[in-house]
Amino acid sequence: MIDSAMKTPPIVSAQEWEAARLELLVKEKALTRARDALAAERRRMPWSAVEKAYEFDGPAGKTTLLDLFKGRRQLIVYRAFFEPGVKGWPDHACVGCSLMADQIADVVHLNARDTTFAYASRASQADIERLKARMGWTFPWYTITDSFDADFGVDEWHGTNAFIRDGDRVFRTYFVNDRGDEAMGSTWSYLDITALGRQEAWEDSPAGYPQTPPYEWWNWHDEYGKNAGPFSS
C-alpha cells in the first residue's frame, strides 16, 4: 500500500492523464534534441595525442593501449575498481562498477560501429577472470600496470575515456565520470561519447565522417559477421 504520508499526484481521468503526458512529451523531445546537439558538439571537440606507450596485462599476456583497439577505429575504456583495499575485495569489484557492468549491452553492437569496449583495473588477470566467471560478464577486461589510471583521471575515482586511432597514432577524444557515468551502459550512450558518434546519416557530424542509414547496420547480436555491415565485427 502507498504510505499515507506520501504527497502523491492527483488521480485523473484517462483523457486528463493523456493531456498531461503530451504536455510533458514536449519537454522530453526538447531534451532529446538538446542531447543530440550536445553529442554533435562532442564530435567536434579537439583531440589530445597519447604519446606514452601504455601497457596492460590481458588474457594473452602483455598488451598495449593500441592493441586494446583490436584493429577497430575507436576504443572506450572504463576504469573499474577491483583491487585490494576496495570494498568487496576479493569476492567482488566496487559495487558501483559492478552495477555498471551489469547494465552494459552486448559489446558486439559497438564493434559493429568500429568501436571496442573494455574495462581496466589493478587486479590481476587471474582475479579478473575469476570475477567475470562468477558474475557472468564477458566484455574484455585488462590489468593496469603503469600510470594509465593517473594520467587519464581515473586513479582515485571511476571514469570512462574514449580514444580514436589514426593508424598507430592514438588520441584521447572524451572523458566522463561522476554522475555522467551513471547513464552509461547502452550501445547509444557509449557511441554518443565517441568522436565518430553513432555514425548514422541523420547526425550532425563534420564533413567526411563515416555515416550509414539508421536501422541498416542494426543486427541480432549473434548474427553480426553472417550479414556483414560496413563496420562488422
Question: For the segment 42-83, what is each residue's pLDDT rounded down to a tens digit?
Answer: 999 999 999 999 999 999 999 999 999 999 999 999 999 999
Residue 6 has what pLDDT?
A: 87
Residue 3: which pLDDT band, with cuts at 50, 70 and 90? confident
Rounded to a whole number of angstroms, the CA Rg of the chain reads 20
Residue 233: which pLDDT band, with cuts at 50, 70 and 90? very low
Do residues 115 and 74 make contact, with C-beta atoms less than 8 angstroms apart? yes
Residue 5 has what pLDDT?
A: 85
Do residues 83 and 121 make contact, with C-beta atoms less than 8 angstroms apart? yes
Arithmetic mean of pLDDT, 3-12: 88
C-alpha cell at 152: 587519464
Arithmetic mean of pLDDT, 197-220: 96
What CATH number should be reported for the domain whose range is 44-191?
Answer: 3.40.30.10
Residue 27 has what pLDDT?
A: 98
Q: How confident is the prediction for the chain on average, in pLDDT?
A: 95
Residue 225: which pLDDT band, with cuts at 50, 70 and 90? confident
Residue 176 has what pLDDT?
A: 96
Kindly report the pTM of this predicted structure.
0.93
Cis peptide leading into residue 140 (ω within 30°): no
Task: Tell me: pLDDT of 129 over 60.
Answer: yes
